Amino acid sequence: YYMPTCSAIPQFIVESGKPKCITISVPEATNLRVEYEAPDLDPSKGPVWISINQVRPMEHLHDKIVAHRHKAHRKPQQPFSQELAERTSSINHMIDADGDVSICVRASYASSANPMRFGLFCTAEQSSSELAKNMAGDHLSNMELQLARLKESMGSILKEADYAKEREMVFHNLSISMNAASMWWPMVQLCVLLVTGFTQARHMVGFFKSRHII
């Protein structure tokens, strides 16, 4: 997924205590909002966690990104986990760097005999209620709230555009490297073939001369 708003499978089943994960691509400085539904959640049976972890920062794909953006290497972002207390709610987490983010669900009491249903929806924007709550002290009108939402959406689009540009730069450099390798490899093969043929011909001529065949 490479859009500011991205969705996973609407619902999936967890049948063991092992984490079940999805992976999305998120631009830097994004307040990732994960909405979840857990209709089978029962906190009395055991804890259920949702964890957010950046599994592959974009900087690790190509060192030229750092030079391109004039930024130093960041320290790896620590994983974030939260225990679920409600069947329907949301989790917010700030993503520091461009890259792939893994969102995992771990249910301690899930099993094949007791499967659990989960639904996840990921977005980079605040909900209408959250936006209104955050700006309640400013006494904004409905029109001003809509303008604030449009401004937030525009910021997400610009971040995604910058991220897409950097991804294009990385894969363009990779394609150039692959093209250069594919150009030189046939020449290396031809040189090896010529050297092998010359060596074999010389060996055969020496063999025939030593046996006085020619």
Range of 1-5, 13-17, 171-175 with top mean pLDDT: 13-17
Query: Mean of the pLDDT values across residues 49-73?
Result: 64
Residues sharing a CB contact under 8 Å with residue 103, sequence separation 6 or more, in sequence order: 8, 21, 22, 23, 24, 34, 50, 51, 52, 120, 122
CB 25 within 8 A of CB 101: yes
Averaged pLDDT score across all residues of the chain: 80
Q: Which two tokens stand for residue 163?
A: 């991220």
pLDDT at 118: 93
The range of the structural domain enclosing residue 13 comes to: 5-127
Q: Report the C-alpha gap between 48 and 117 in whole angstroms.
A: 12
Residue 157 lies in a domain: no
- Is residue 190 situated within a structural domain? no
Whether 16 maps to a domain, the answer reads: yes
Q: How far is CA 118 from CA 48, 90, 113, 143, in A?
A: 11, 13, 16, 36
**What is the predicted pLDDT for the residue at 139?**
61
State pLDDT tens for residues 130-186.
Answer: 555 655 556 667 777 778 778 878 887 888 888 888 888 888 888 888 887 777 888
What pLDDT does residue 214 have?
63
Instruction: Find the CATH number of the domain harbouring 24.
Output: 2.60.120.680
Dihedral class, residue 20 (left if φ above 0, else alpha if ψ from -120 to 50, else beta): beta
Q: Which residue has the tokens 């605040």?
A: 126
The arithmetic mean of pLDDT across residues 75-103, rounded, is 88
- Position 104 in a domain: yes
Return the pLDDT at 127. 59
Q: Taking residues 42-51, report their average pLDDT.
A: 92
Residue 142 is encoded by which pair of tokens? 């409905």
Strands 80-83 and 48-57: antiparallel
Kindly tell me if the per-residue pLDDT of 35 is higher than 80: yes
Identify the DSSP state of 96: -
More confidently predicted of 190 and 63:
190
| In-domain check, residue 55 | yes
| pLDDT above 90 as % of the chain | 31
Domain-located, residue 176: no
Element (H, E) at 46: none
Does 73 score more than 80 pLDDT?
Answer: no
Mean pLDDT across 181-198: 87
Mean pLDDT of 109-127: 86
Determine if the pTM surpasses 0.85. Answer: no
> Total structural domains in the chain?
1
Which helix (H) or strand (E) segment holds residue 205: the answer is helix 142-210
Tell me the backbone φ, ψ of residue 123, rounded to 5 degrees. -145, 160
